[in-house]
Structure 1
Amino acid sequence: MSKKVVLGFSGGLDTTYCAQYLSHDCGYEVHSIIVNTGGFDQEELDAIAAHAQKLGVVSHTAINAVEDYYDTIVKYLIYGNCLKNNTYPLSVSAERLCQAVHIARHAQALEADAVAHGSTGAGNDQVRFDMIFHQLIPGIEIITPIRDMQLSRAEEIAYLQSKGVHMNFEKAAYSINKGLWGTSIGGKETLQSHGVLPEEAWPTQCTQTEMQELSLYFEQGELKAVNGIIYSHPADAIKAVQHIAGAYAIGRDIHIGDTIIGIKGRVGFEAAAPMVILKAHHALEKHVLTKWQLQWKDTLSQFYANWLHEGQILDPVMRDIEVFFTHSQQQVTGTVYLHLLPYRFQVAGVDSAYDLMRNDFGQYGEMNSGYTGTDVRGFSTIFGNQVKIWNAVQAAQKTKADAEY
């Protein structure tokens, strides 16, 4: 009886090779699975399913994980205003973890003997997939033909052609990975330390030139409405923001960061919805949270983003931080107003019942009603007292030293 292997399958060159090789050369019973985290429409999913069947897989499964992706990961990236190295919204990092979890669950359900993925030995994804499998389905065999055999693209193509597999073998000038929380773009410019992506490399072009006002309504930290339209699930609201802001080519950048395997990596990305939503959410928080809530959120967010990037989404410390994030969102309710312009945007203001910048408590630099000038005079004396003492001690010691000298 053939051994069962569950193969994470996107329909690209690498996973096509894996499906053909594992089924026809290794004799595995291959069960392919694609986990959609917002990067595929139904037509694309149907084409991938048909391609998998032609390769001889025993079964092919498509999982719609968009809402689960939001509920388990993206929501907390918004709560934490998470950006890797203050730049990258963790687009691919986050979705790979969601995909790996669903692949592992599918392998469990099928009682598979092995699980496979098409990662090479050069990037972060191999670690993310491997770690999730080790953690959720320990002891299962992990098969990675492209990595293990160190196959070149040319070798993969030659093999598939020899087997009569027909697909588009032309390598696109730029590799593109699209999902709910942004799109990554890799090309020759990102393989070196200097160089920007040309206009034609960006999947979304700027088609709007006139300034547009955008309003985002958050309820306890979650995006519920866009321009007054209420959405049943925040993932749908994110898609709406992407549709509107993407037309302005907002959210383009190139990120340089440390990979899990210890080398520097550079990648382009466009993330109109993530960047607009994160900026709006953070602006609302600055109005409704206290100084120390903001301080500790910033500290924890930095760790959360980095640990997620490195594949450690299942570490229980992530659940602990998520509890903190969730509790911090109790008063993060209100509307944020933004102005969208070609390639940029700005926050125009917020409206919230929880706004701590309320005129009945005083206006910064103008007037106050919660304290008097005398109160401030005494506060300043006490608040700076220890540093005053420290300076006095240092001055006394310096005087003593000068006298002895």
Structure 2
Amino acid sequence: MKKLVIAYSGGLDTSYCAVSLSKAGYDVHAVSVNTGGFTEEEIKSIEANAYKMGVKTYKNIDAVTSYYNKVIKYLVFGNVLKNNTYPLSVSAERIIQAIEIIQYAKSINAKYIAHGSTGAGNDQVRFDMIFQTLAPDIEIITPIRDGKLTRQEEIDYLKANGIDMSWEKAKYSVNKGLWGTSVGGDETLTSEKPLPDSAYPSQLEKNNEQKIVLNFNKGELIAVNGKIDQPQHCIKELNDIASKYAIGRDIHVGDTIVGIKGRVGFEAAAALITIKAHHLLEKHTLTKWQLQHKDYLSSFYGMHLHEGQYLDPVMRDIEAFLQNSQSKVTGSVFVTLRPYHFSLDGASSSNDLMNAKFGSYGEENKGWTAEEAKGFIKINGNQNKIYQQIHSKS
């Protein structure tokens, strides 16, 4: 038997892969990675179905803490929103899932690894690049991509092999994780249609206004409403509170790794609130130049992560910069939740650079005289004055 590990979600594509590869003589070991999207009941159901597909073993890896420490933490430090919109919910997950799966494959000395990606999306790139980099000797097998299979062809094959489950395609494809939930449907295949409210997993439950306090320590969310916990648990707590207001819905339009435009809906209440609250605290505690250089480095970090370049050493370099930038980002941010939106009311920090003893913007200067201000302005304008005088005729 040829030992093979399959990235197994329990959906149609990975079910087809599990059955067909078992029939082809592979010793199939199914692995799914929990990045915050599985309940205990769902894990048990996926495991039971995996064995129906003929796998030899099934393993679910809890990677929520690893996901936070290796990726989410830096997305918060960088205030990363792709195209100023999307918190990289799914693309960030895939990186961690690929790393965990290939590490498991190496631990059991598997010679083959498989995933159910098609040839038209981003995930094939992320999985293949991680697998190739960390285990170049393990052969990658992709039955759906290689066979250019349609959904109906997969269903017909499974039925012919005695696997007759409910394969009807749900109207909306939902992928849930700690850092947000993606939602795809017919509407996201076009450019003009919005997703209906019913497509989003969290529905509006609360209409009242609610004020909450988020506490950060060196850039990490450590408490919600005074309840101190590990950051990943605080993110989940915040999402449980804010999702009842149907906060965090949007549609992201972006460039895929394979060169075509893509559109996807998402719901990420905790991610958006955390990033915006963290950014507000940074604006109070970091210098002008720290903020400026963080902006473009964070943008590079998010793009490289999305493109599957997580293992490039430049990512560790940027992470070191982002980590170091957070030493003074400690304090509280006050947030008001309302149906479908939130507002940042203010921040409090012992490191607040908006200190009245140096002056009040637009009101009173305490740290310099009027004559000093005039001299500063004159010298500050020298370059423009010289340029304009030299080129006045042109």
Q: Which residue of 2 aligns with 1:160?
A: 158
User: For 2:9 and 2:92, how far apart are their aligned partners in 1?
Assistant: 17
**TM superposition shift of 1:170:** 1.1
Aligned equivalent of 1:351, options 345, 348, 351: 348
The answer on 1:76 being equivalent to 2:55 is no
Contact 2:111 2:137 in 1 (8 A): no
Q: Give the Cα separation in 1 of the matches to 2:180 and 2:152.
A: 30
- Give the deviation of 1:245 after TM superposition: 0.7
Instruction: Tell me the equivalent position of 1:325.
Output: 322
Give the deviation of 1:120 after TM superposition. 0.8
**Is the aligned partner of 1:282 residue 2:279?**
yes
Residue 43 of structure 2: aligned partner: 45
Q: How does 1:222-371 map to 2 (within 5 A)?
A: 222-231=220-229, 233-371=230-368
2:144 is matched with which residue: 146, 149, 159? 146
Is the partner of 1:164 in helix, strand or coil? coil
How far does residue 367 in structure 1 lie from its aligned partner after superposition? 1.0
1:159-238 aligned at under 5 Å gives the runs: 159-231=157-229, 233-238=230-235
Q: Which residue does the alignment assign to 1:401?
A: none
Q: Which whole-Å CA distance do the structure 1 matches of 2:38 and 2:55 have between them? A: 21
Length, aligned pairs only? 394
State how far apart, in whole Å, the 2-side matches of 1:344 and 1:158 are.
45
Q: Is the 8 A contact 2:5 2:105 kept in 1?
A: yes
Give the Cα–Cα distance (whole angstroms) in 2 for the partners of residues 224 and 107 of structure 1.
34
Tell me which residue corresponds to 1:383.
380
C-alpha distance in 1 between matches for 2:83 and 2:108: 39
Matched residue of 2:274: which SS? Answer: helix
Q: Tell me, what secondary structure is at the counterpart of 2:391?
A: helix
Output the TM-score relative to the length of structure 2.
Answer: 0.99
After superposing the two structures, state which structure 1 stretch, 160-169 or 246-255, moved more. Answer: 160-169
C-alpha deviation, 1:358, in angstroms: 1.3
Amino acid across the alignment from 1:19: A
Structure 2: how far apart are the matches of 1:166 and 1:63? 27
Code of the residue aligned with 2:202 in structure 1: it is T
Higher gyration radius (CA) = 1
Q: Partners of 1:87 and 1:394 in 2: how far apart?
A: 42
The one-letter amino acid paired with 1:177 is: N
User: What's the counterpart of residue 5 of structure 2?
Assistant: 6
| Superposition deviation, residue 296 in structure 1 | 0.3
Counterpart AA for 2:216: F
Segments of 5+ residues of structure 2 without an aligned counterpart are none
Q: Mind listing any 5+ residue stretches in structure 1 that lack a counterpart?
A: 399-405
- CA deviation map 1:197-250 (0-9, x unaligned): 01111111011111100110000000000011001x210000001001111111
Shift of 1:368: 2.1
One-letter amino acid of the structure 2 residue matched with residue 6 of structure 1: V
Summarize deviations over 1:300-328 as a string: whole Å, max 9, x none. Answer: 01111111100011110000000000000
The 3-state SS of whatever aligns with 1:247 is helix
Question: Is this contact kept in 1: 2:78–2:322, CA < 8 A?
Answer: yes
Aligned residue for 2:140, secondary structure, equals strand
- The equivalent of 1:133 in structure 2 is 131
Secondary structure at the residue paired with 1:87? coil
**1:26-51 per-position Cα deviation (integer Å, ceiling 9, x unaligned):** 11000000000000011100111111
Runs of 4+ in 1 over 6 A off after TM superposition: none
Instruction: Give the deviation of 1:294 after TM superposition.
Output: 0.2
The CA deviation at 1:58 is 1.1
The one-letter code of the counterpart of 1:118 is: G
Give the CA deviation at 1:92.
0.3
Report the residue type matching 1:18 in the other structure: C
For residue 334 of structure 2, what is the amino acid of its counterpart? Y
**Rounded Cα–Cα distance in structure 2 between residues aligned with 1:390 and 1:257:** 40
Distance 1:235 1:158 in 2: 41
Structural RMSD (CA): 0.8
Code of the residue aligned with 2:275 in structure 1: it is: L
Shift in Å, 1:139: 2.7
Deviation of 1:166 (Å): 3.4
Letter in 2 for 1:205: Q
SS of corresponding position for 1:46: helix
Q: Which residue of 2 aligns with 1:29?
A: 27
The partner residue of 1:96 within 94, 97, 109 is 94
Q: How many angstroms apart in 1 are the aligned matches of 2:225 and 2:281?
A: 16
TM-score normalised by the chain length of structure 1? 0.96
Q: Is the 8 A contact 2:95 2:308 kept in 1?
A: yes
Give the deviation of 1:167 after TM superposition.
Answer: 2.1
Question: Which amino acid in the other structure matches residue 22 of structure 2?
Answer: S
- The whole-number CA distance in structure 1 between the counterparts of 2:390 and 2:124 is 58
